[in-house]
Chains A and B, each alone.
Chain A
């Protein structure tokens, strides 16, 4: 397999996933693909990169990583991935989006100032995201966050030029929110088999959110 940006130049002998482990794809057009691959493996899944529509055929679940949502969206559009992604997710493929990934899943996104942003989206999550809502990089922060359904204490959440969920539809469950001077802002949501987080669970070393996602992938797989 080709090197994933950031990977060691002397690949360690990786532990093979257990028999029957689900195969989860990570959309690898741009962004922190490697971190998701290693967290998925930590959470008991086998992970592969997805760069082409046909790469979607084999996977039981998909992660859309952090990165630049405009870059990932444009490349997904150019390389014919947007429609297959939408179709697979509509047909029940479980998906986790973090930061840029959450933006790409949302049906609509706004610039930081609240004006609508016109950019390619997968648009499978009934939510409106606001990009860079917490501010520019100097405002990026770490924060201990209670996430509904994640046991064992707060999740250490890393927010980098992060968005928040400005509005969510009635089918969407809010799993976590962050307090700001202007009130609470939604940062983790779930709608069926679609999970989205405004922060980067892949950066903190804590694999519980990925484990919850892998559990969902297994449930969907078992139900088929």
Chain B
């Protein structure tokens, strides 16, 4: 009844496995322990601990960096669900710090100011799993090749505008569907076009899905937005500014959780969409200066 073999940590299976456990759930940005508790009470599967939500990063400008470890730890102490935190693209020392304090997932995020304009973090080198953003299939597979254990479509964070999330989900899912229809010769050529590792391209062509969980992010502000992403093929949803920049965060958070579980049931989405108070104002993409298109960060 007992065992003798050694145990192993930090394997691809346990890293990808935690993302599997988050499927069908909502991950919410929080900046205080109080917000983290509201998110957990509303049914969030995890929280993203950060000092400023993307809408405030946009407003404040300047360089956005990893949050204060004290602040992240206060959120880890406040809730029992997994806690994620963001490191700058390519900033492997910020990632080392986040692993050292014991966060459950590192988001190598374009919402922060990139620290390296050519290289992403070598995520295989870490015990903590990473989630990375992607705007298309090739970018998703490059991140997985570097060791990402979870992908989120980027969208355009902090805008409350779902149009970029839609574009990126359609690009990724459409890219997957296209691969499954190609002959072997065409898959080799497509790998070159995608600028992605051939073994991963072949794996997707055969499985008809990414080898890791695919969430969506960037601009989700309403229950209907969340259900739209789920119907487009997301396995779950990140909501950043959309909850705590709205009129009634607790209620909106719960409504988005319900709409994510019952994403194919318009009666439920209608019910939870009533009387939510004001949604975040939102930004039209054409009003956004080029330098503020975060989705273009990452290579």
Contact = CB atoms under 8 A, between A and B. Distances in A.
Interface of A: 2-3, 5-12, 28-35, 51, 66-68, 70-71, 74-75, 78, 99-100, 111-112, 117, 131-132, 136-146, 148, 154, 158-161, 174-179, 184, 200, 203-204
Contact of A179 (B3, B25, B235): B3
A139 B17 contact: no
A3 B25 CA distance: 15
A34 B46 CA distance: 20
B115 interface: no
B21 A67 contact: yes
Contacts of A148: 1
Contact of A9 (B2, B13, B20, B173): B173
Given A99-B21, A161-B104, A204-B13, 15 more contacts: A5-B230, A5-B236, A8-B207, A35-B20, A66-B21, A67-B45, A71-B45, A100-B21, A136-B82, A136-B104, A142-B14, A143-B3, A143-B7, A160-B21, A203-B13
Contacts of B13: 142, 158, 203-204
A58 B22 CA distance: 27
A145 B277 CA distance: 51
Contacts of B2: 146, 177, 179, 184
B24 A67 contact: yes
B208 A12 contact: yes
Name the interface size band of chain B.
Answer: 35 or more
B285 to A, nearest CB: 27
Contacts of B76: 136
B105 interface: yes
A145 B80 CA distance: 27
A154 B4 CA distance: 10
Contacts of B18: 137, 140, 160-161
A6 B213 contact: yes
B9 interface: yes
A2 B231 CA distance: 9
Contact of B82 (A143, A144, A161, A203): A161
A2 B261 CA distance: 12
Contacts of B14: 137, 140-142, 158-160
Contact of B24 (A9, A33, A136, A138): A33
Contacts of A70: 40, 43, 80-81
B24 A203 contact: no
Nearest to A117: B80
B81 A34 contact: no
B23 A32 contact: yes
A75 B177 contact: no
A73 B213 CA distance: 23
B9 A138 contact: yes
Interface string B103-131: 11100000000000000000000011100
Nearest to A184: B2
B139 to A, nearest CB: 18
Contacts of A100: 21
A12 B206 CA distance: 10
Nearest to A2: B264
A30 B24 contact: yes
Interface in B1-43: 1-3, 5, 7-11, 13-14, 17-18, 20-25, 40, 43
Nearest to A205: B13
Contacts of B236: 5
Contact of A136 (B44, B102, B180, B230): B102
B208 A8 contact: yes
Contact of A30 (B7, B45, B99, B234): B45
A132 B17 contact: no
A29 B261 contact: yes
Given A5-B235, A161-B104, A111 B17 contact: no
Interface in B161-189: 173, 176-177, 180
B69 interface: no
